Chains A and B, each alone.
Chain A
């Protein structure tokens, strides 16, 4: 079949060319209007700390895995117990859905290095029945930990009631080590976090 030719001024285009142009235009419009699901917020800052068993742990050790990172301290009576309790439920749910074995890990970094030794963290984990195989509780020397806390945009300072004042944020990190979502307790819901993790697991890396 001969292709119909259209001419505008000195330009001659075939139907194929016109269709290609329309498809390209539609694609460009859809790109500009599309909303990216879980856009990259920033590269997750590295850390060099130790876990509940005293083993050295760096963020690079989790490369290729999707990680959920919280900041807590074990004597907290504010948002930390609720955060850790919710993370425990998430771990349980991910286990049931066999997602942990696909490369998902949980990390909780202490905001209180003076009190949160590896032994104290192990006791805290028992209270929440946290499985240390897929959930690391990290601490370290005050100077190293302070640098980590600041690098993640977090802070902790003594409050009038003897507690530590700190923001409530939980970070979702993709397999390339990029922060893709930041939750607070309102959004740290088991089905929503699971859905986000499944989305990141489907991405190529």
Chain B
């Protein structure tokens, strides 16, 4: 056996070994995965009455720790009224980029120097200025860069788009949504297929209003399939109203993915055929207002939080022609964001969607166990987000470290 062949085999074994531990789902595929159980849960919090600064709550989730299930640190973000919403790791997992839907600020947070006490290293005011966009929504790591999806044009209307930044925050380039599909929301890439998918919600001048005043005709219902390397739209697919999260199948042989259509109470699937032609269809009806969509590491289950019907549904999607509802959990009022652990055994849950959409002031973080019998709420784990010195906080997105 030649030295070259030996090394290629070693390489393949190395990759196989890495893929076993790389099991966290719903992160950019370029983000370094945790190779151990989680110790810290970061929760991106909005001060509920917008009178005090927004913050990141650090919850101790290390099993056996004396402070397990407690908030051990709060990182003050230095400003209020941001509507802190989604946040995401850089590719090397050393920093988190935090988005804000009302202020256009981006917070760059160091989580490597001391993961127990994250540090705010930079605040970028008006992140969309050079791209001509506003309302940064999804941060998505690329190698050495961050891809951000926006909800609005600079004036709070449409069209919106995507923009790419260096990890230090410098603007690189923008992609404007096409005239006939001008909305934006989430973004997800399958590198092996060279495909990127984007979804569509509504824009700032609509969602900034109280829910009762939303114009529900002003929501997108398109999923776009892009050639990622050429950054061109290849297919525009009609789906239910307000497709939100974009989740590609985790298995390399599968050229399909899922989105939760919030205003159509359903999950839709997009599928590419052997000729690389894409179509979309409704996969299943869900509870009311499916707000978040998560995957199990084995690609078998989808978890969908139904914000209005107060439930989380677990769907077996191993057979796309016959999806099965296998479990339903009622964790409390208006469940929204979920985060599934890398081993696929636990799920953290928060319950704020948007300050203009929440209907309850009872904010919390809960934990569900994903068992062979379905989702089971852990009654011993309950983080109350209403008792801060500054009053209640709306917890939204979560990350583990």
Query: B-contacting residues of A (Cβ < 8 Å)?
Result: 33, 35-37, 39-42, 77-79, 81-82, 84-85, 88, 126-129, 153, 155, 167-169, 171, 182-187, 192
Inter-subunit contact B173/A36 (CB<8 Å)? yes
Chain B interface residue count, CB cutoff 8 Å, equals 35
* Neighbour of B91 across the interface among A36, A84, A184, CB < 8 A: A184
The verdict on B4 contacting chain A, using a C-beta distance below 8 Å, is yes
Chain B residues near A168 (CB, 8 Å)? 143
Q: Closest residue of chain B to A42, judged by CB?
A: B166
Shortest beta-carbon contacts, A-B, top 8: A186-B191, A167-B92, A182-B144, A81-B11, A182-B143, A184-B143, A82-B11, A39-B173
Assuming the A-B contacts A85-B8, A155-B92, are A42 and B170 also in contact, with contact meaning beta carbons closer than 8 angstroms in the complex? yes
The verdict on B7 contacting chain A, using a C-beta distance below 8 Å, is yes
The verdict on B180 contacting chain A, using a C-beta distance below 8 Å, is no
Inter-subunit contact A153/B144 (CB<8 Å)? yes
Q: Closest residue of chain B to A184, judged by CB?
A: B143
Inter-subunit contact A169/B144 (CB<8 Å)? yes
Q: Closest residue of chain B to A187, judged by CB?
A: B191
Chain B residues near A167 (CB, 8 Å)? 32, 91-92, 143-144
Assuming the A-B contacts A41-B144, A81-B14, A155-B92, are A127 and B4 also in contact, with contact meaning beta carbons closer than 8 angstroms in the complex? yes
Chain A residues near B355 (CB, 8 Å)? none
Q: Closest residue of chain B to A196, judged by CB?
A: B229
Once bound together, how far apart are the Cα atoms of A153 and B168, in whole Å?
A: 9
Pairs A–B under 8 Å by Cβ, sample size 20? A39-B172, A39-B173, A42-B166, A81-B10, A84-B7, A85-B7, A127-B6, A128-B7, A129-B3, A153-B144, A167-B92, A167-B144, A169-B91, A169-B144, A171-B144, A182-B143, A183-B143, A184-B143, A186-B192, A187-B143
Q: How far is the CB of A95 from chain B (nearest CB, A)?
A: 15
The verdict on B369 contacting chain A, using a C-beta distance below 8 Å, is no
The verdict on B176 contacting chain A, using a C-beta distance below 8 Å, is yes
Assuming the A-B contacts A81-B10, A167-B91, A168-B143, are A35 and B30 also in contact, with contact meaning beta carbons closer than 8 angstroms in the complex? no
Chain B residues near A78 (CB, 8 Å)? 14, 18
Chain B residues near A186 (CB, 8 Å)? 29-30, 191-192
Once bound together, how far apart are the Cα atoms of A155 and B113, in whole Å?
A: 13
Query: A-contacting residues of B (Cβ < 8 Å)?
Result: 3-4, 6-8, 10-11, 14-15, 18, 29-30, 32, 91-92, 94, 142-145, 166-168, 170, 172-173, 175-176, 191-192, 194, 229-232
Assuming the A-B contacts A33-B176, A82-B15, A153-B144, are A77 and B10 also in contact, with contact meaning beta carbons closer than 8 angstroms in the complex? yes
Inter-subunit contact B172/A41 (CB<8 Å)? yes
- Extra 19 A-B pairs, beta carbons < 8 Å, given A39-B172, A85-B11, A184-B30: A35-B175, A41-B145, A41-B172, A79-B14, A82-B11, A127-B6, A127-B7, A153-B144, A155-B92, A155-B94, A167-B92, A167-B143, A168-B143, A169-B144, A182-B142, A182-B144, A183-B143, A184-B191, A187-B191
Chain B residues near A184 (CB, 8 Å)? 30, 91, 143, 191
Judged by DSSP, the binding face of A is loop
Once bound together, how far apart are the Cα atoms of A77 and B172, in whole Å?
A: 33
Q: How far is the CB of B9 from chain A (nearest CB, A)?
A: 10
Once bound together, how far apart are the Cα atoms of A83 and B120, in whole Å?
A: 33
Q: Closest residue of chain B to A89, judged by CB?
A: B8
Inter-subunit contact B232/A35 (CB<8 Å)? yes
Chain B residues near A183 (CB, 8 Å)? 143
Chain A residues near B145 (CB, 8 Å)? 41, 182
Inter-subunit contact A192/B229 (CB<8 Å)? yes
Chain B residues near A153 (CB, 8 Å)? 144, 167-168
Chain B residues near A171 (CB, 8 Å)? 144
Q: How far is the CB of A121 from chain B (nearest CB, A)?
A: 15
Once bound together, how far apart are the Cα atoms of A171 and B143, in whole Å?
A: 10
Q: How far is the CB of A33 from chain B (nearest CB, A)?
A: 6
Chain A residues near B144 (CB, 8 Å)? 41, 153, 167, 169, 171, 182
Chain B residues near A79 (CB, 8 Å)? 14, 18
Q: Closest residue of chain A to B30, judged by CB?
A: A184
Once bound together, how far apart are the Cα atoms of A77 and B32, in whole Å?
A: 16
Once bound together, how far apart are the Cα atoms of A169 and B167, in whole Å?
A: 13
Once bound together, how far apart are the Cα atoms of A186 and B232, in whole Å?
A: 20
Inter-subunit contact B7/A81 (CB<8 Å)? yes
Q: Closest residue of chain A to B178, judged by CB?
A: A33
Q: Closest residue of chain A to B192, judged by CB?
A: A186
Chain B residues near A77 (CB, 8 Å)? 10, 14
Chain A residues near B91 (CB, 8 Å)? 167, 169, 184
Q: Closest residue of chain B to A168, judged by CB?
A: B143
Chain A residues near B230 (CB, 8 Å)? 35, 37
Once bound together, how far apart are the Cα atoms of A168 and B33, in whole Å?
A: 12
Once bound together, how far apart are the Cα atoms of A200 and B188, in whole Å?
A: 27
Max chain B C-beta neighbours (<10 A), residue from A37, A168, A187: A187
Q: How far is the CB of A192 from chain B (nearest CB, A)?
A: 7
Once bound together, how far apart are the Cα atoms of A85 and B166, in whole Å?
A: 27
Chain A residues near B3 (CB, 8 Å)? 126-127, 129
Chain B residues near A127 (CB, 8 Å)? 3-4, 6-7
Q: How far is the CB of B8 from chain A (nearest CB, A)?
A: 6
